[in-house]
Structure 1
Amino acid sequence: MISDDTEHTCLVAQLLIEANGDVDRFARLFASRLRWWILALPAGVVKATTRAGIKLWLGAKPASAGVFSAGNGPAMRAAIFDAAIDDVPQMLEFVRASSRVTHSDLKAEFGAIAVAFAARHSRVHQQVDANLWLSDVVNAVGDDGSELTNLLHRSVDRVSAGESTKSFANSLGLPKGVTGYTYHTVPVVIHAWLSHPEDFRQAVTAIIECGGDADTTAAIVGGIVGAGVGEAGIPSEWVDGIWEYPRSMKWMRSLGERLDSSATIAPSINPIAVLLRNVLFLFIVLFHGFRRLAPPY
């Protein structure tokens, strides 16, 4: 089954179709849908997104709903912007709008920008040029993002030195797993991407082996590498093994096809089916969590 990371990617794709290039309309639609998304009891939703959703229900405007958090929520839904928008300045406008609805800390926005540029680079260039990608990020985030770009420079250097992603994560003080802090998430994600730019299986496996917030970090790496290799580059057993409704594989393919066309109406989704699905998903998550507490461990 898919996690909230994929749900947000699908949500953004729907809204990009409906906004039809209007970033203000996108922000309003995102804020509106986010309120209802929170009410559908999504499993794994993080504190910052929940608080932003509550603020929206209390009447906050999209531009002021974001909470001061440097979480990786904006980064997890950033790769899809590259798939839909070729114009770089416009892409950055949408990435920033998406970030600010839930997170007001610029660190979260900078992390999302780095991911969006990585997906773009993966899609546009046959061979990855880490320095070219990094220069795009540096120009976009400016001096305010120097802390992140320094970490990204470190990622690039450690990949060149042949260091594993797990070892790189440990060098950042993350031996127990990659956290949801975007300046932990994004550098390790980028390391996994640059280590395996055309190997979806290895890139995703490498980031999962780091532990921590693995559903989100794997989703971000998958979005970046997937932008380059497409569905054909994803292990077929992973795709065939997805058991999901109402966001089925057929529905997600239809969503992707419309996003890649001039369509202005996105595939709809039954909210009652989403709620029932989320209850089942939550039960499965809790079952696995309690099962791990019982022998045999």
Structure 2
Amino acid sequence: MSQVAEAAAALRQLGAPTIEIGLILGTGLCEVADSLEERLIIPYGDIPHFQTPTAIGHHGRITIGRLNGIVVAALQGRCHLYEGIAPARLAFPVRVLAAIGMQTLVVTNAAGGLRPGLEVGDLLILSDHLNMMFANPLIGPHDASCGPMFPDMSAPYDRELAEKAITASRIHQIPATRGVYAAVSGPTYETRAEMRMYRQLGADAIGMSTVPEVLAAARLGIKVLGISTITNLCNPDMVDQTSGEAVAHAAAGAAPRVARLLRECLTPCNRAATC
């Protein structure tokens, strides 16, 4: 039995039902899972081959429940490349969620705002990304059951889901816009020169996660909605010092808005591609 199959079997034994949506909660956003109903909480340590994150603001457990009647598995925290985790391991939870039924993946993160005009607390609905980690979780022997060897990445984020998120944000007056996320390895924050470079490359926000999970989902043919919470501003001409604690605090302040947005844009209609 593969490690993915072992982990999926363990989740079943612990009471996990077939899920429809996977939700990965980034730094400071773990409380978004509190909005789920009929919750089942499973620590990562109880799941074979799962690794527990060490970063600030990552709880290290799965909460499974219902949102608008849809069964959702929320990963409260993720591991990162800077923790010394191999790229393929970063994609492991996505593959496990797919094995228990996931059709749609929502990835969230805390990010630095690169684009002028963004403010702390704004939400960025991802339209694309730049993989500046110089690592790819799909490298290695190809398993045809996981999808094509060369997955297409022309549209890694589902346009329909992104549009639903933007529409919901306007209706409920949640500051949100679409943009491009740059993923770097970390754990250091950016220098002024790096901020200027990433702006010139077309990035609107920058962080240290998300892309490995999106790459795994793309190979599996899973629809993805990406949401960045802007927790600090990356202005090369006016730099304030940033800390992990400050980022987690800012993200936690935005968690209720993220939860509201998900309640409004993730509806039972997502169960079928024809909706």
Scaled by the length of structure 2, the TM-score of the pair is: 0.30
Q: Kindly indicate which of the two structures has a greater share of residues assigned to strand.
A: 2
Q: Based on CA coordinates, which of the two structures has the bigger radius of gyration?
A: 1
